[in-house]
Chain A
Amino acid sequence: MRNNKLKTAAAIFLLGLLAVPLYFTSTFVLHMFTLVFFYIALTAAWNIPAFGGKFSLGHAAFFGLGGYTAAILYVKLGISPFIGVVAGTFVAMLGGVILSFPLVRLKGPFFTLASIAFAEVLRMVAVDWRSLTNGSVGINIPFKPSWLNLTFTSGAPFYYMALGLALLVIGLAWWIRSSSLGYHLRAAAADEDAARALGINTAKAHFMGLMWSSGLTGMIAVFYVFYNYVLEPGTAFSMDLFSLQPAMNGIIGGMGTVWGPVIGAIIMTPLGEFLRFYLGTIQQGLNFVVYGLMLIAVVNFVPGGIVSLIEPWFKKKKSGDSSAADN
């Protein structure tokens, strides 16, 4: 009974989200929602290796690879972004293959460092390789509205696409976590040796997790880049926007869980925008000081993230359901 109620509530909520662009014509509201969806998707994708306890601070690498691939194909060769999405996903996964060497060889902290270095190196390459990337000037997506060009005159199409991406990645994350890969990753996170002794190829599990994560990040990036019309090394490979922000959302929401990234992105994205654009105009950098303080608070007081505060309550409800069903 309760379970059904929950499902109905979720369905109504989704319908409500679908209706938002019909009622809110304010570009600001629409933009905020779209941004939240993008960050839910990015954070949920970032979170997949975290099922296996691996913490990346270099996902901007995959973002940049995906975004640049599609943008270069489109602007330089006139290839539709819909092919660009496939290519971008693929190139981001190639980046994932490279990062998988430190991923499987190094324990947590050193993998994290390698991931930072990886993204930084790609950023430098993007600045340096002017013939391909236009260097630090960046690439502008020309404004030629058409479905095929993934360019629109209103914000609504991107609102729906971002919502779709968010739902897709949450769904995939949920599916991965409840499949053998998810169990293997969680076992590896808890005790790598015990997992290996139980027949799990932990290196392969970590690798697969990173493949999903890098590919999805690259794919999301293509949409994000076309939403923004412009990309340059400083933003596409931005430590702040696409490495730290998803990680921050994930940790504060609850790393390695399905719903943590969602909660984190919903709370942190508007907060981040607020700090950046309202306080940010008064004082640049304040948002990261606030993030830093929040992070220290989480580490000291709620190591499981916000989701760990909500989960017990939710579980109680659920077990209440099953006993109700027994009756």
Chain B
Amino acid sequence: MELIVQVCVSGLLLGGIYALISIGLNLIFGVVRIINFAHGEMVMVAMYLTFWLNYFFGMDPYVSTLIVLPVMFLFGVIIQRIIVQPIQNSSANMKIFATVALSLILQNVALIVCKGNFRTVQVSYGMGTMEWGGIFISIPRLVAFFAALLSISLLYYFLKNTYTGKALRAIVEDHTIARLMGVKVQKLYLLAFGIGCAFSALGGVLLMPFSSVYPTVGIPFTLIAFIVVVLGGLGSMGGTFLAGLFIGVVEAVGGTYVSPALKEAIYFGIFIIAILIRPQGIFGKGKGSEEVGLK
């Protein structure tokens, strides 16, 4: 009994990071309508940046957000401008090819530059735990969870209450609106890609104190983010958040009670079952689900 609560809490906290990464994807997909197969690689790049800042300058991972986030925002903007924008009107398959290519390039440049080793950041609080009612809670995971909650709330506020945020939401709701916006829409695309990228980057930074980075670390994140977005519903922040936590818990429970090697198999199974029985997403209303084919 104790163990199951312990496992669920730890999964829930990890789920906060998944939610963060997935919300980045949701925003990019909702606004730019591109399936970013290189999404997990954004996490990977951010993790390496965090690692280097620590390695060369001894910078604390949490402090390094001040550098990593703006850099990754810019990185997203550049990708949108030079990779995605030229093929905006190509077929869906062409867009997949382009982002698959990007993911290949990023993975293998990472391999060339950093070699295949697992890299970790040593921080004093990396293994730190606190006890609360007999349950041990990892401190970096707890920090990650609350940082995720805070940044998602900030994004939510931005989308709800600012002019630009409203414009972004309008595009997510009805993409024909994008055509009416003319020149400005390209700027919004750049912004959405930048923000989406920064969110996944934040996920990467928050992971660094308690996990390691290697060139292919991003692949599962791409899959997880898509599963979360499909479960949570496109354009639905709340749904994505809940679905992220859900996958975190499923992973932790599956990894503990079934087999650590099969945890990904388990949420893939959930993904398949979910699209068969509830194609509109488990939590969200699934705006734009028609484009996914989940009619």
Using a CB–CB cutoff of 8 Å, the interface residues on chain A facing chain B are 53, 55, 57, 101-102, 105-114, 116-118, 120-121, 124-125, 127-128, 239, 244, 251, 255, 283-289, 291-293, 295-296, 298-300, 303
Q: Is the CB of A106 within 8 A of B293?
A: yes
Q: Which residue of chain B lies nearest to A283 when distances are taken between CB atoms in the complex?
A: B112
Binding site for A on B (CB under 8 A): 35, 37, 83, 86-87, 90-98, 100-102, 104-105, 107-109, 111-112, 116, 215, 219-220, 222-223, 226-227, 230, 259, 261-262, 264-265, 268-269, 271-272, 275-276, 279, 291-294
B95, B105, B275: residue with the most chain A Cβ atoms closer than 10 Å: B105
Nearest residue (CB) in B for A240 is B104
Note all chain A residues with C-beta closer than 8 A to B91: 303
> Could you say which residues of chain B place their CB within 8 Å of the CB of A299?
87, 90, 94, 97-98, 101
Q: Please determine whether A109 and B92 come into contact, CB atoms closer than 8 angstroms.
A: yes
Whether the pair B226, A286 counts as a contact (CB closer than 8 A) is no
A55-B96, A121-B264, A285-B108 provided; 10 other pairs, C-beta below 8 A?
A: A55-B93, A109-B292, A112-B96, A124-B261, A125-B262, A285-B109, A289-B112, A295-B104, A299-B90, A299-B94
In the complex, the chain A residue whose C-beta lies closest to that of B215 is A285
Q: Are B98 and A101 in contact (CB under 8 A)?
A: no
CA of A288 to CA of B83 in the docked complex: distance in angstroms? Answer: 17
Query: B112 to A285, Cβ gap below 8 A?
Result: yes
Contact A57 to B104, CB < 8 A, known contacts A108-B92, A283-B112:
no
- With contacts A128-B259, A295-B97, A295-B101 taken as known, whether A117 is within 8 angstroms of B223 at the C-beta atoms is yes
Docked complex Cα distance between A298 and B35 (Å): 18
CB-defined contacts of A128 to chain B, threshold 8 Å: 259, 261-262
Residues from chain A with Cβ under 8 Å of B264 in the complex: 117, 120-121, 124
In the complex, what distance in Å separates the CA atom of A282 from the CA atom of B105? 17
* A117 x B104 contact (CB < 8 A): no
Q: List 27 A-B contacts (CB under 8 A).
A: A53-B93, A55-B96, A101-B276, A102-B275, A105-B279, A107-B291, A107-B293, A110-B226, A111-B293, A113-B226, A117-B227, A118-B268, A121-B268, A125-B262, A251-B97, A288-B105, A288-B107, A288-B108, A289-B109, A292-B101, A296-B102, A299-B97, A299-B98, A299-B101, A300-B86, A300-B87, A303-B91
Question: Is B105's CB under 8 angstroms from A289's CB?
Answer: yes
* B230 with A110: CB separation less than 8 A: yes
Interface of B is mostly: helix
Q: Which 6 A-B pairs have the closest CB atoms?
A: A107-B293, A285-B108, A295-B101, A292-B105, A109-B35, A285-B111
Which residues of B sit under 8 angstroms from A289, Cβ to Cβ?
104-105, 108-109, 112
B residues within 8 A CB of A106?
A: 275, 292-294
Contact residues in B for A102 (Cβ distance below 8 Å) = 272, 275
Whether the Cβ atoms of B108 and A293 lie closer than 8 Å is no
Which B residue sits closest to A117, measured CB to CB? B268
Return chain A residues, CB-CB under 8 Å to B112: 283-286, 289
Query: Which residue of A112, A285, A289 has the most chain B CB atoms within 10 A of its CB atom?
Result: A285
Cβ-closest chain B residue relative to A120: B264
Q: List, in ascending order, chain A residues with CB within 8 A of B262's CB.
A: 124-125, 128
Q: Which of B90, B261, B275 contacts A303 (CB 8 A)?
A: B90
The listed residue (B86, B90, B97, B105) touching A293 by CB distance below 8 A is: B105
Chain B residue numbers with a CB within 8 Å of A114 are 271-272
A289, B111: Cα distance in complex, Å: 10
Q: How far is the CA of A249 from the CA of B109 in the complex (A)?
A: 21
Query: In the docked arrangement, what's the CA distance between A53 and B92, Å?
Result: 10
Residues of A within 8 Å of B230, CB to CB, are 110
